[in-house]
Amino acid sequence: MTHDATILTHLRRVADTGVSGAALASILGVSRAAVWARIEELRRLGYEIEASPHRGYVLRAVPDVLHADDLLARLGKIRIIGRDLRVFHETTSTNDVIERLAIDGVAEGILVFAETQTAGRGRLGRHWISPPGLGLWFSVLLRPKLSPMATTQLTVASAVAVARAIESQTQLKPQIKWPNDIILNGRKVCGILTELSAEMDRIRYVTLGIGLDVNQTRDDLPPELLAIATSLRIESGRTHPRANLALALIHELDEVYHRVNSGGFARISDDWASRCNTLGERIRVRSGDRTIRGTAEALDDEGALLLRTEHGRLERILGGDVTIEK
């Protein structure tokens, strides 16, 4: 743990009681002047730290920033996802960063957050808008022992994890639109982009990119997206501390990843089905130049959507743009 993380951990632990500079200096094995310098740096990041001669340092308020060391210190026990974690002020796309780390041989589980992305990616090469400080834009490196065909399981499982985290942190009830859009009141609040690097029969790595709109007001959204996009703040009427959401997301993702790896996709798939707004509906799917119409019947054990066409044939859909027909 870095000095910053250790200081924040102790400040949180003692709450209003406060901790003296001398005590922190002794814990860290540094001088009181060095402690003071770190406190100043944390204040510069927006942490409100009060200093009084009697109680020492007291943490009064934390800013809505993502601080890698602080997140790691608060994360608690996880298996794989979140073992390492980096926060960038600005990147092209966090998926790009993960891809470079993957090529360099970095172990799975590392997360990269960016406060803003200059070239955030959505599915099918679309642009993803990532305004600074208002959402969670991050990617995870995975190296699962699955066949490339089973990668859809990870997309489905991630959607379940995100829905669970949003529900526990906001009490909102997100739905899932196949395969990976998280929906609140009919509008998209989160997108998941699963990018795969593989040989024919072996996954090299998977980059799981997640973009969650958190604290945007309606004024923060581009007008042309108002009909189809939303944020947690718009839906709940209040702002949400992004660090808490980030921690909940990491725990839920780590949990479903463990389940998928240990052959437990069936249970995740049940949870997915209960949250899904696509199953049972008449839909059309556009995939490349092709459009298929039918009823979304079920998910198969690799996460593919089974679509019953008008002619009664069952089609297996691996990807594409789904529209629910009224």
List residues binding a second copy (CB under 8 A).
96, 99-100, 103, 123-125, 147-149, 151-152, 155, 179, 193-202, 204, 287-288, 318-320
Q: Measured between alpha carbons, how far is residue 4 from residues 47, 73, 163, 277 in Å?
A: 11, 10, 32, 44
Shortest Å, Cβ 123 to a second copy: 6
The residue (of 151 and 170) whose beta carbon lies closer to a second copy is: 151
Shortest Å, Cβ 211 to a second copy: 15
**E strand or H helix that includes residue 100:** helix 94-103
Q: Report which of 195, 193, 156 is spatially closest to residue 299, judged by C-alpha positions.
A: 156
Q: Please state whether beta strands 305-309 and 290-299 pair in parallel, antiparallel, or not at all (unpaired).
A: antiparallel
Q: Report which of 160, 172, 187 is spatially closest to residue 240, judged by C-alpha positions.
A: 172
Shortest Å, Cβ 303 to a second copy: 9
Report residue 109 as tokens: 């589980």
Residue with tokens 């593919």: 304
CB 310 within 8 A of CB 209: no
The residue (of 17 and 262) whose beta carbon lies closer to a second copy is: 262
**Strand, helix or coil at 284?**
strand
Shortest Å, Cβ 55 to a second copy: 51
Shortest Å, Cβ 195 to a second copy: 6
Q: What's the Rg (C-alpha) of the chain?
A: 22
Shortest Å, Cβ 201 to a second copy: 3
**Strand, helix or coil at 87?**
strand
- Phi, psi dihedral angles at 298 (to 5 degrees): -170, 175
How many Å apart are CA 312 and CA 32, to the nearest integer?
A: 75
Shortest Å, Cβ 299 to a second copy: 13
Shortest Å, Cβ 295 to a second copy: 20
How many Å apart are CA 284 and CA 323, to the nearest integer?
A: 5
The residue (of 172 and 196) whose beta carbon lies closer to a second copy is: 196
The residue (of 222 and 288) whose beta carbon lies closer to a second copy is: 288
How many Å apart are CA 252 and CA 259, to the nearest integer?
A: 11
Q: At what angle do helices 21-28 and 3-14 cross, to 10 degrees?
A: 130
The residue (of 33 and 200) whose beta carbon lies closer to a second copy is: 200
Shortest Å, Cβ 92 to a second copy: 9
The residue (of 121 and 240) whose beta carbon lies closer to a second copy is: 121
The residue (of 53 and 288) whose beta carbon lies closer to a second copy is: 288
The residue (of 237 and 288) whose beta carbon lies closer to a second copy is: 288
Does 241 sit behind a cis peptide bond, omega within 30 degrees of 0 on the bond before it? no
The residue (of 162 and 193) whose beta carbon lies closer to a second copy is: 193
CB 310 within 8 A of CB 284: no
